[in-house]
Structure 1
Amino acid sequence: MKFSRTTTMAVAIVGALALGSTLTACSSDDDKDKTADANAAVTLDVVGLLPGAKPEAQQALAQEVTDFQKENPNITVKTHDYEWKATTFAADLAGGTLPKVFEIPFTDAKTLIANQQISDMQDQLSTLSYAANFNKNLLQYGQGDNGHVYAIPAKSIYAVGLHYNRDLFTQAGLDPNKPPTTWDEVRADAKAIADKTGQAGFAQMSKDGTGGWQLTVDTYARGGRMEDGKKATLTNDATKASLQFLKDLRWTDNSMGANFSYDWSGINQAFAAGKLGMYTSGQDVYTSLVQTNNINPKSYGLTMIPLTGSDAGVLGGGTMAAVSSKANANEKAAAIKWIDFHYLRKYTKQEAAAKNAETMVASKQPVGTPELPIFSQQQYETYQGWIKSYVNVPLDQMTTFTSKVFDAKLVNEPAVATQDVYKSLDTVVQAVLTDKNANIDQLLTDANTKAQRAIDAAG
C-alpha cells in the first residue's frame, strides 16, 4: 500500500509507542453527572486561539462556533485567547480565570487529577461513538487511579523537528533543499547565516519552562535522559554536550543573535519575521506560524533534528482538553459536545473532516500540517484521504522530516515533576547564553538538586 509522507510518519510513531486501541468504559460515581439537563441553556467558556491570532484565523474559529451552535442551540460558546505557560497556568487555574474548557500538556494531567482540579469526564466521554477507539497509551496520560478519563487527547502527538528559514539559507549560500543532518552542520550553517545575513543563525528557547524543554530535546537527540525512574539525571554527558554546543554557537561563533530570552511564542514570532535561521520545536508549529505570525510559506522548511548515539531519540508530546473541576453537570455535558465538535470529530467522520477543511481553506488557514494520530493508524489514513484535496501547506518543504522521522525512536517527556525539571534547567540555559564563563558542570549539579527535590515531592 502506498502511504502519504505524513501517513508514513504516523505509522512509524504509532509503532514506536506500541499504541493500542482499547478504552475500558467506567461509570462515574459522581451523582451530579447524572443530573445534566439536555435542554438546559448553557454558556460555555472555552479556549480559542493564541493571543494575536490573525483575523482570518479568528474568522475560521467564529464560523466553527456558529456551526456548533446551530447543532446545539441551547449552548452558547464563548472563546478566549489562550496560551499555556508553565509560569502562569497554576495561578490562573487556582484563581478561576481560565475558561471551563482548557488545554494542557500530556505531562500535566496526572498532577491536576491528583489535585482534583479537573473534572472526571468518563461518563461524558462514553457517550461518544468513537470512545473505544482512542490509542490507550495516549489516553492513559489523562486517566486517574480509578481508571476514569479526566483529560482527553485533543491534538495529535508531535515530534520535535528542526525548523529552518529557506530564504536565509539561500542568502547565506546554503542549499535550502539540503538542510543540516548533523549538529556540526547545524553549527556551520548557523555561522554562515549569521556572517552573511546579519540574522541569528540558530536560536534557543530559554524561559517559562521552554529552556528546559528544548534542552531535554537536545539531550534526547544525543542519547541522554533527564530522569531514570524517580532519579534526576541532569548531569549526564549528553546534556553537557548540548550546553557546550550552545556555548560554542553563542561565544565562539557569535551566531545566535542578541536575544537570549525567548519563550515559545516569542521564538515563533522572530522566526516568522525572518530574524533567525533555525530552531527546534514540535513539527506541528507551522499552523501557529500561519495563524498568529503570518509566516511566508515559501520561506519555511522542516527537517529532522540530528540524532547521534545508540540511544538517541526524538522528544514527543501532545495536548489534552480538560474541564475545570468547578464545572457543573450541564457544563460538562456541553463541554464534551464541544470537545467532540472542535477537536475530534473531523478524524472520525468524513463530513466533519471536509467541513472543517473547507472552513479553514476559505479563511486561508493551513490544512494538512504534519500530525500524528490520536486514534488508530488506519483511521488516520482514512482521515488523510478525506482532506487530501484541501491540503494547502508546503509538504514538499518538509520531506526531510516526514520521510525520516519513522526511523527514529520517539521518547516521552520526563515522567515525574516534568515542569519543575524544565524550570530547573531554564536558568542553566540562560546562564550559558549570557555568561561567557558559565560553569556547565556546576550549573547542572545545582539544577539536578532542584529537580530531585521536585521529583521527591511529587512522590
Structure 2
Amino acid sequence: MKRARRLAVVVAGVTTLAGVAACASSSSNDDKGRSAANAGPLDPNTKVSITVGCQPPKSSKALRQEWNNDVAAFEKLHPNITIVSKDAFPCEDPKTFTAKLAGGQMENVYYVYLTDAKNIIENGQAADITNYVSGVKNYKYLQPQLLNVFKGGGRLWGLPKTNYSMGLLYNRKLFQQAGLNPDQPPTTWDEVRADAKKIAALGNGIVGYADYSANNQGGWHFTAEMYSQGGDIVTPDGKKAAFNSPQGRAVLQNLQQMRWTDNSMGSKQLLQISDVQPMMASGKLGMYLSAPDNIPTIKDQFQGKFEDYGLAPMPGAQGTLIGGDGYMFNRKDTPDQIKAGILWLEFENLTPGKGQFDWAQKAIDKQPVGLPQPNIFTGPPAAEELQVRTQNANLPVQNYKAFADGDPKVKYRLEPPQAQQIYAVLDGVVSSVLTNRNADINSLLSKAETKVNGILANAD
C-alpha cells in the first residue's frame, strides 16, 4: 500500500526499535553461531518444504490466481523447494495470532503487521535471519526505516512486504462544484477547514470532511492528525502519554470547529471506515484521511469512479503515520527452511517486475495499477519499479501527483506502542468532541492521559 517519493528520512519511533530486543531470548550467542555456521546458499539438491502465510482468500479470485501462478513459477525455478500456501482472512487475525505465536503454531514464513514485530522480537518468537540475507539482490535498497522495524539486538528478524502512509483523499468532482481547484488540494488544516465549509455549502446532504470516531479508528486518525502537526502520542521512551499538548488541543479544536461552528462534518458521527467509503463513492463526501489503498476499495465495493478521486499529502506537512506488513520466520525453522523462505520472499515481494510488483500481469488481470504505494525500495530498484508501474498504469496517476511528490522533510512515523489499547481511549476523546457541542477538550485530554499512562505502565 507507496508513493514515488522517497522515505529516506529519519522515522521517529522506528529507529529506536533497533535496540529494543537486545535481551530477546532468540538472540542468544548459540543462535548466532548456529546461524552463521549454516548461512551459505541453499544446496539446490536439498529438498525443502515450507509453509507460507497470507495466500489471498478464494474470494479474491484474481489475486489468489496470481499467487498460485507465482508459486508455480518459483517452484519451477527451484524444483526442490515446495511452497505450501496457507490462506486466512485477515492474514493476521487478532483473535488467534497471539495464541498461535505462543504455541509455536505459525507457518515457517508467517505474515505480520509492522506494529507487531517489536513484541515478537522481544518475546523470542522469530528466527534470526541476519546471516541469511546477504544474497538478496535488493536488500541494501530496502527502505531503511522499514528494515529497522525488523531489527533488534543488532540482528534481523524479518523482511518487509508493503508499506503505506496516510494522506488526504478528496473528491475532485465536488472540489470543482464548490469552485475549488482539484489540482491544488489543501496543504494546511486551515485550508482543509475552509474547503470543507465550501463543499458542505453545496447542500443535498454533502459532507465537507469526515473523520472516524469508533472501533479504535478514531484514535488511529487522531494519531495521524497529531503527527501531521508535529505532536506525539507517547514520549520517545514509550513510557508516558504525550498527546495532552498544544498539538493535541489543536487537533480537537479543529474538529470541534468544523463539526459545530462550520457544520461541515454532517450530523451523523461515530463513523468508521465502512461508513466513510460509501459516502465518498456516492459523491456525498469531500475529504477524509486515507492511505492509497482505499481508492480501489471505493471503486470495487461501492461503485465509485477512479477519475473522481485525488490524493494529497497529510495537511500540516510535519509528519504522517505509516504502517505496513512483512514476514517473519518460525523460531523452529531449520536453516534450509530459512534459506528457502528468503528465496521465496525475494521472488514474491522484493523484486521489481515479479510477484507483487508484476504490474504487467496485474494490468492484464484488471487489477489497479498506478497507485503511489507500495514503495519499499530506494535507488535503482525504486526507479525500475516506478517505471514498470507507470508503463502499465490503468489509473489516473496524475490525480495522485501531489501525494506522490510529497515533501522530503516530512517525518514518517509508526503507530505508538500498545496502539489498539491507546486508540480505544482516544476514541472516546474524539467521539465526545464530535457528538457533544460543549465537550471540554482540556478535561478529555487530561483524563485520557491518565488512562494511557496506566496502560503503558502495565505494559512494562
TM bucket, shorter chain? 0.7 to 0.9
Amino acid at match of 1:155: T
Closer, same or farther in 2 for the Cα pair 1:34/1:377, shift >3 Å?
Answer: closer
| Number of corresponding residues | 437
Q: Which moved more, 1:128-137 or 1:236-245?
A: 128-137
Amino acid at match of 1:154: K
Q: What is residue 179 of structure 1 aligned with on the other side? A: 185
**Match of residue 255, structure 2, among 234, 246, 256:** 246
Distance in 2, matches of 1:150 and 1:132, equals 16
- C-alpha deviations, 1:283-302, integer Å up to 9, x for none? 45445556666542111101
Shift of 1:109: 1.1
Closer, same or farther in 2 for the Cα pair 1:105/1:77, shift >3 Å?
Answer: closer
Contact 1:290 1:365 in 2 (8 A): no
Tell me whether 1:255 sits opposite 2:261 in the alignment. Answer: no
Matched residue SS, 2:209: coil
**Match of residue 204, structure 1, among 201, 211, 222:** 211
Q: What is residue 215 of structure 1 aligned with on the other side? A: 222
Q: What is residue 315 of structure 2 aligned with on the other side? A: 306
Shift of 1:221: 2.1
Q: What is residue 128 of structure 1 aligned with on the other side? A: 136
Contact 1:44 1:334 in 2 (8 A): no
Distance in 1, matches of 2:58 and 2:207, equals 25
Equivalent pairs: percent with the same residue?
A: 31
Distance in 2, matches of 1:236 and 1:202, equals 24
Q: Which has the higher helix share?
A: 1
Shift of 1:384: 2.2
Closer, same or farther in 2 for the Cα pair 1:172/1:359, shift >3 Å?
Answer: same
**Match of residue 157, structure 2, among 144, 147, 150:** 150
Shift of 1:117: 3.1
Provide the aligned C-alpha RMSD in A: 3.9
Tell me whether 1:345 sits opposite 2:351 in the alignment. Answer: yes
Matched residue SS, 2:321: strand
Distance in 2, matches of 1:331 and 1:450, equals 44
Contact 1:315 1:412 in 2 (8 A): yes
Which runs of 5 or more structure 1 residues have no equivalent in the other structure? Answer: none
Shift of 1:328: 6.2
Matched residue SS, 2:351: helix
- C-alpha deviations, 1:366-424, integer Å up to 9, x for none? 22321375343343123323444212222211223333x22542142355444443333
Residues 382-397 of structure 1 aligned to structure 2 (within 5 Å): 382-397=384-399
**Match of residue 148, structure 2, among 140, 144, 151:** 140
Contact 1:353 1:386 in 2 (8 A): no
Matched residue SS, 1:321: strand
Q: Which moved more, 1:327-336 or 1:378-387?
A: 327-336
Closer, same or farther in 2 for the Cα pair 1:121/1:257, shift >3 Å?
Answer: farther
Amino acid at match of 1:14: A
Closer, same or farther in 2 for the Cα pair 1:407/1:66, shift >3 Å?
Answer: same
Tell me whether 1:336 sits opposite 2:327 in the alignment. Answer: no
Q: What is residue 286 of structure 2 aligned with on the other side? A: 277
Distance in 1, matches of 2:272 and 2:52, equals 26
Which runs of 5 or more structure 2 residues have no equivalent in the other structure? Answer: 19-28
- C-alpha deviations, 1:6-30, integer Å up to 9, x for none? 64x22xx31566999xx9xx97445
Closer, same or farther in 2 for the Cα pair 1:353/1:326, shift >3 Å?
Answer: closer
Q: What is residue 433 of structure 2 aligned with on the other side? A: 432
Q: What TM-score results when the alignment is normalised by the length of structure 1? A: 0.79
Matched residue SS, 1:320: strand
Distance in 2, matches of 1:201 and 1:52, equals 34
Shift of 1:153: 1.8
Shift of 1:442: 1.8
Closer, same or farther in 2 for the Cα pair 1:406/1:178, shift >3 Å?
Answer: closer
